[in-house]
Amino acid sequence: MSNAAAKVEALHFPHRHLLTVEGLGATEINFLLDLADSAADDNRQVGKRRDILRGRTLINLFFEASTRTQSSFEMAAKRLGGDVMNMNVSTSSVQKGETLIDTAITLNAMRPDIIVVRHHAAGAVELLAQKVDCSVVNAGDGSHQHPTQALLDALTIRRAKGRIAGLTVAICGDILHSRVARSNIILLNALGARVRIAAPSTLLPAAPERLGAEVYTDMWKALEGADVVMMLRLQRERMEGSYVPSSREYFHFFGLDHEKLARAKPDAIVMHPGPMNRGVEIASTVADHSSSVIREQVEMGVAVRMAVLEALARNLPKR
């Protein structure tokens, strides 16, 4: 075992669940990132399968569709040797009137080891976690939190830049409805980054300065000297009423093109959590440019979820 691997092995993640990045310290975050860094390297080898979750069962419980996140958790669990069950909520008893608590009680009776939950309501995942005996991972709850997305973004930045502390990260777009933005702001601040947010005033929450980031309504100014430009999807499914005049006007002022990107540092990297609306929040020429690490984010998603599942598995009772 290498010194780096021995260092990771000696550390511990003392949590039963991963519901939020709030409250995680830099040591705990870096523990997960180091574990994920090792998993990312292993995933590029031929022999990818390990036995950390052998004999363990993971349930993917997604009340919102998300092919990318669900398949990422499934692949992560299988590479660790676990058994995976994907629950299709659209054809389940939930559609027949079963409550979230009823669902939790039913699943708990099946004795899973880990449940990964995505839900459209903020706080729903935490409620479910209170009703089960296994570990729970929040795969996104409403506009609240998406902890593994923030971790994979941090890992992508760290591998591209070699560090996170001292970097200027500009998060641009639909801040109001974005759990990705909230989770990233908290996590990046904990790791010593300087975080900026940029959005039209209609897509900023009330008192946005409370988020812990510098607030801009001028994207050009927000990108000045940025090391990382993180674009967000315009989440029309969460919008009631009109938040932007038109997609064309939104792109003119807040879509990332090469002209705006030129305000950032020459070696700035471009990120997007996906799925992308090309021509709305990001130009195709930027999304496919050499400065883009969007594909790397997808790759790091599997590695980070492997790290989270491994960390939680260490705390599971030995049967």
Q: How many CB atoms lie within 10 A of CB 163?
A: 12
| Residues 77, 132 contacting (CB under 8 angstroms) | no
Q: In terms of C-beta density within 10 A (0-12 exposed, 13-18 middle, 19 or more buried), how is residue 134 classed?
A: buried
Assess contact for 82 and 107: CB atoms under 8 A: no
Spatial contact of 213 and 195, defined as CB atoms under 8 Å apart: yes
Ligand-binding annotation for 205, yes or no, is no
Does 56 belong to an annotated binding site? no
Is 194 marked as a binding-site residue? no
Question: Is 69 marked as binding a ligand?
Answer: yes
- 148 assigned ligand-binding residue: no
Please check if 79 is assigned to a binding site: no
In sequence order, the 6+-apart residues with CB closer than 8 A to the CB of 184 are 149, 150, 153, 154, 169, 171, 195, 230
Q: Is 96 annotated as a binding residue?
A: yes
Known binding residue 305? Answer is: no
Q: Which residues are annotated as a binding site?
A: 68-69, 96, 118, 146, 149, 179, 233, 274-275
Q: Which residues are annotated as a binding site for L-aspartate?
A: 96, 179, 233
Q: Which residues are annotated as a binding site for carbamoyl phosphate?
A: 68-69, 118, 146, 149, 274-275
